[in-house]
Chains A and B, each alone.
Chain A
Amino acid sequence: MAAKTPAAPAAQTTQKEYRTISNVKGPLVFVQKTHAVGYGELVQLRLPNGQTRRGQVLDTSGKHVVVQVFEGTTGIDNDKTTVKFLGETIKFGVSKNILGRVFSGAGAPIDGGPEIIPDDYRDIIGAAINPYSRASPHDFIQTGISTIDGNNSLVRGQKLPIFSGSGLPHNDIALQIARQAKVRGTDEAFAVVFAAMGITNEEAKKFMGEFERTGALKRAVIFQNLADDPAVERLLTPRLALTAAEYLAFDLGMHVLVIFTDVTNYCEALRQIGAAREEVPGRRGYPGYMYTDLASLYERAGNIKGKKGSVTQFPILTMPGDDITHPIPDLSGYITEGQIVISRELHRKGVYPPINVLPSLSRLMNAGIGGHKTRDDHKKVSDQCYAFYAEGRDLRGLVAIVGKDALSSRDLQVLDFAELFENRYVRQGRDEDRSIEDTLDLGWELLATVDEKLLTRIDKKTIEQFHPKYKKAGTPVKAH
C-alpha cells in the first residue's frame, strides 16, 4: 500500500538515501552507517519495485539504527532497498474537512474523496495532559441503554471500555451507543471517531453501513486497519484517531466519542514487535511496558479547563477465553474508568444487550448523576437493584442444590426480582432509546414487586417520593 499521507513539509533536499540495510527481521529493519538519526524519527523505505513504506526509529546509536516498518517488510531486501530518514516524528494533517472521511490505518484517505489540505500537522504521539489542567468529567451522557445509564453511567471525558468475548454482540452495542448518545438538555450531537484495528472486512462494512444509514457519517472520522492489513500499522491507527479526536475536541470545541475496536488486536501487534526485538516479555508474552503503552492511548480521554470540547473513549476489547484476568482486559481495567462487561450467559439466554451489571462499573458515575443532572433517586435505585440482583443470582445456585422449597419468602422475592431484572430491565430493543426517567421508573416498577421493608438501600423519603405505590396515591414525581 502506498502511503499518501501528507507528510509534513521538511527540508527534503538534504536527506540522504542509504542502501546499508544489514538485517531484516519480522517488522524490523537494521540500517548501518547512517548519519546521526533521531529517536522516533519517521523513515521512508523505497523497495526495489518502486513501492514506498513508512517506518519509525526504535533504537539509534553510532553503530546502527533499528527501524520498525509499519506497512510490513514483505519485499524488503538488504541490497537494493533504500532508506531515507525524514528528520521528524510521525504527524497527521488535521483540518475540519476530515469529518465525514475514511482513512487507512496509516492515515491515508481511502474513500476516493479529495485530498485534504491540512490546517496543521500534529504529532500523533500526543503529549500527556497536565493533570493540573484537566477539568473533572461530570456531564451525564444518556446512551439510552438502561444497564449503562441506570447502573454504570457514562460522563463526558470518561474512558469506559466494553469487555466482550468473541461471538458476542459488542459491535451492535457500540453502534447503538454511537447512535443514541447525547448529553441531556443539549441538542449537540457527538462527533464520532472510529478506529478499526484488525477487524474483518465484513465487520468494517457493517459499521460503515450503519454510519451511512443513520447519517452519522457526516460527523464521523473513520480509520480502518483491517484484518489483512499489516499488524504493525495497528500501532499507528489508534494514535491517528486520537490525534484527530483531540483536534476536533480541543481546537474546534466538539464533543467527540472515540470508538476503538478491537484493542486485543492492537495488543497482539505490540507483542509481535516486542518478540521481534527480543525483549524480555512480561505476562503471557506481552511486553512489560504494555500498561504504559495502553495508558498512552486511554489517558488521552478527558476534558481540559477552559476548553469547550471533550474526548470520551469507548474502546472495545475481546477477552481471550472470556478471561477477565487476561493481561489485556486486566491492564485496561487498571487504566480505564470502569468497564462494561458483556456476558455470554445472558447472550445465550437471548437477552440483548447482554450486559452483566455485576462486574461492570463506572468510576465516574457519582460525579454525573443525581439532582439536576439526572434524578435524586438515581444512585439509590441503582444500588438497590445491584444488591437484589447479586443476591438473586447467588440464590439461583442454591435453588439448583436444595430446590425452591427451602427458600424463605424474602429469598423467593429476590429470586424473582433477578429474573425480572434480566428480562425487563436489561433486555431492550436494538433501536430502543430509553430516557433516564424511563430507566429509573422501570427500576421502580421492578422494585415494587419486592416487599417495601426489604428496600434497605433506599431511605424513606425517596421511597415516598418515587415508589409507584405512593405515586399512584397522588404524590407527583418531580422530574428535573
Chain B
Amino acid sequence: MVNLKGTVYRVSGPVVTATGIKPAMYDIVRVGDERLMGEVIQIEGEYSIIQVYEDTSGVKPGEPVENTGLPLVVELGPGLLTSIYDGIQRPLEVLQDKMGHFILRGVDVPGLDHSKKWEFKPLVKKGDAIKPGQVIGTVQESTSILHKIMLPPNVEGGKVTDVKAGSFTIEETILTLDNGAKVAMMHKWPVRKPRPFAEKQLPTIPLITGMRILDGLFPIAKGGTAAIPGPFGSGKTVTQQSLAKYSNAQVVVYIGCGERGNEMTEVLTEFPVLEDPQTGNPLMARTCLIANTSNMPVAAREASCYTGITIAEYYRDMGYDVALMADSTSRWAEAMREIGSRLEEMPGEEGYPAYLSARLSEFYERAGRCTVLNGGEGSISVIGAVSPAGGDFSEPVTQATLRIVKVFWALDAKLAQRRHFPAINWLQSYSLYPEYLASHYAEHAAPDWNETKAQIMEILQKEAELQEIVQLVGSDALPPEQQVTLETARLIREIYLQQNAYDKVDAYSSLQKDYKLWKAILRYQTLSGAALKMGATTKELTGLAAVTDLARARFEAKFEEAYAAAMKGLENAFTEMAAKAKKHEVLA
C-alpha cells in the first residue's frame, strides 16, 4: 500500500481530524511534525478521525499526517518476558534511556530488542512439511520459559528448504520455505485481531491461586474469566498482585491500565526478587508487564488491554497456561468513554459508549482453554479488576462484565475496614466453574473435597441468617446449638477465609492446607455439638487455647507439625471437658 500523506484539519485533545489520507479503519497514522502515533477510529467522507497515543499539545491544523496503511501491531518473539511496556508496547526502560525520567513524545521504539542475539535450536529439518502454528524450534527466553518459535499463523505452510541453528537476532531469517517465505524469530500481529486456534475446550482444570477463599469456595478454571469489582481500598490490586505472584500459570501478563504509577514500581521492585512457588525462579522470569498509568495518554490506555491479550495469546499458542490480570477494566472503559465523547457519539448509560458491552465481551472471549493450531493445548485465564463508581455494583461496567465472566469475586469495603483480608464477600461472590472442576478436585485434592466445601458454605450461609437475629437480641439469647454454629462460622472467617498476603508463609496456601483447615474447623463443630449434649456450656467451648494454636499454625513454616499439635490439643481439650462433665453427673 502507498503511504498517503494528508494534513491535520482539527485538534481537540487526543482526537485529531485529518484530511487527504484515505485510510482504512484502525490504520496507524503518523500525526504532525513530530510524527505522533495515532489510530484511525472513524471515517467521515474526506475526514479521518484519529485517536493519538501521545500528548497533542502544540499540534496545529495544516501539519502533515501520514498513513502507514498498517493496523496497530505488537512484535512477538523472544524478549517479551521480564519486559515492562507502555500501552502500545514501547519498552519503558528504553524510553527512560531515550528521554529521561519523564515520558515525552515523538519517540518510536520497537517492542523487542532487535540487536540482541538468541540461541535458536531448530526442531524441524530440511524437507519437512510444516503448517502455520507449528513449532519450528526453541529459544531459552528466561530461566522459566522455553520460548517456542512457531510458523506464524499469517504465513502459509510449505516444505522447509533451509533451516539454521545458532545465534541470531529476531529479524534474521532462520528458516525458508519452498513457497519463498522467509521466517524469523519475530513476527508482528495486529492487536485487535484474535489469534487463531484450532478448537476451544471446556475448562476442567482449576487455576490454583494459593488464596484459600478462591481455591476452596470460588475457584477459577484455567482458561476461565473472573471479575474483581470493589470500591477503592478494598484490595483489588493486592488480590491481583497475589494472583500474579502465586497462581500456577506458567506465564503472567499483568496490565496496569490507568492505575497508580507507584503500584507498577512495587511490582517492578518485588517481582525480580520474589520466587515463583512453582519453579523457584524469579517471578519476573515468567512475567510481562504493561503499564499505562492514569496520567499517561488515554488512547494508549485504550490499546493496552489489546496489547496485553495479544501477547497472552502468543504464549497460549506455544502451549502454555497464561494468566492475564487487567487492573482496571473500568479505566479502560473510561478511556473508551473519553474518546467516544470527543467524537460526539450518542452515549449509552452514564455517558459510556453504547458499544461498551460488546467491547468487553470481545475482550473476555479471547480467554479460554484451547487446542492450538499445532495440536497442543494452552489456556488464557483473564482476571479483570473493576472499579465501580461509588462502590455501586449496579453501574454499567460492572454489570456488562458480570454478564460475560463466570467468576465474581465481590470485594467488600466493610470487610476491608475491619481488616478482614482478602475482603472478598463470601455471600455475594460466585463461581460457575465447580461443575467442571469437581472431579479434578476429588481426584487431586481430597475425595470428599466437594462435600466438605458444601458443609463450609452451609455454615456461612447459616451464620448470615443467625446474625440478623443477633443484631436484635444479642448472641446470648440464642440456643446453645446455634451459638456453636456462630462460633464455627467465626472460625471459618478468621482461620480459613482470612489470609495475610504480606506474611511469607500464609501468603500461599496449598489445597492440602485448605482442606486440613476445613476439616479442623468441622471437627471443632462436631466435638462442640457432642460436648453440649454432655452438658458443657457455650462459655467452655469458646476461647480454647487449641483453637488459637490452630489459627497460629497457618503462619508456621512447618505447618504439618503445628497443625498436628493443635489438633491433638483440641481433642484433649474436649476429652477433658467430657471427663469434667461426667464428674458433675456423678456428683449430681
Contacts and interface: CB of A to CB of B under 8 A. Distances in A.
Interface stretch (B68-76, B96-104, B276-284, B305-313): B96-104
B61 A131 contact: no
Interface in B238-284: 256, 258, 260-262, 264-266, 268-269
B291 A131 contact: yes
Interface residues of B, number: 76
B467 to A, nearest CB: 11
Most chain B beta-carbon contacts within 10 A, residue among A89, A363, A391, A456: A363
Interface string A16-27: 000000000000
A358 B413 CA distance: 10
* Interface bin, chain A: 35 or more
Interface in B540-584: 543, 548, 551-552
Contact of A456 (B59, B298, B416, B548): B548
Most chain A beta-carbon contacts within 10 A, residue among B101, B419, B548: B101
B60 interface: yes
Interface in A328-346: 330-331, 333-335, 337-339
B497 interface: no
A333 B260 contact: no
Given A60-B61, A299-B295, A387-B418, A292 B338 contact: yes
B298 A128 contact: no
A363 B238 CA distance: 10
A253 to B, nearest CB: 14
A403 to B, nearest CB: 9
Contact of B96 (A62, A130, A331, A339): A130
Interface string A397-416: 01001100011101000000
A254 B23 CA distance: 50
A134 B261 contact: yes
A39 B341 CA distance: 18
Nearest to A391: B418
B61 A61 contact: yes
A125 B17 contact: no
A89 B58 contact: yes
B419 A59 contact: no
B58 A127 contact: no
Nearest to A56: B57
B418 A456 contact: no
B293 A131 contact: yes
Interface in B56-96: 56-63, 84, 92-93, 95-96
A108 interface: no
B59 A39 contact: yes
B417 A359 contact: yes
Contacts of B344: 280
A141 to B, nearest CB: 15
Contacts of A363: 233
Given A132-B96, A134-B261, A288-B338, A339 B389 contact: no
A275 interface: no
A350 interface: no
Interface stretch (B125-133, B468-476, B522-530): B468-476
Nearest to B270: A136
A401 B472 contact: yes
B206 to A, nearest CB: 30
A295 B295 contact: yes
A39 B11 contact: yes
Given A39-B58, A339-B233, A136 B265 contact: yes
Nearest to B238: A363
A109 interface: no
A294 B294 CA distance: 9
Contacts of B502: 366
B350 interface: yes
Interface string A275-289: 000011111000011
Contacts of B59: 38-39
B101 A129 contact: yes
B197 interface: no
Nearest to B548: A456
A37 interface: yes
Contacts of B548: 453, 456
B153 interface: no
B177 to A, nearest CB: 39
Given A132-B95, A134-B261, A288-B334, A279 B84 contact: no
A142 B2 CA distance: 63
Interface of A: 36-41, 58-63, 88-89, 125-137, 157-158, 250, 279-283, 288-289, 291-292, 295-296, 298-300, 302, 304-305, 307, 325-327, 330-331, 333-335, 337-339, 358-359, 361, 363-364, 366-367, 383, 386-387, 390-391, 398, 401-402, 406-408, 410, 453, 456, 459
Interface of B: 9-13, 17, 55-63, 84, 92-93, 95-96, 100-104, 231-233, 256, 258, 260-262, 264-266, 268-269, 291, 293-296, 298, 331, 334, 337-338, 341, 344, 347, 350-351, 387, 389-392, 413, 416-419, 471-477, 494, 502, 543, 548, 551-552
26 contacts: A38-B60, A59-B12, A61-B61, A62-B62, A125-B57, A126-B102, A127-B55, A127-B102, A128-B102, A128-B293, A128-B295, A129-B102, A130-B92, A130-B102, A131-B291, A134-B261, A158-B262, A283-B351, A289-B334, A295-B293, A302-B262, A334-B387, A335-B260, A390-B419, A402-B472, A410-B543
Nearest 3 pairs between A and B by C-beta? A325-B390, A61-B10, A295-B294
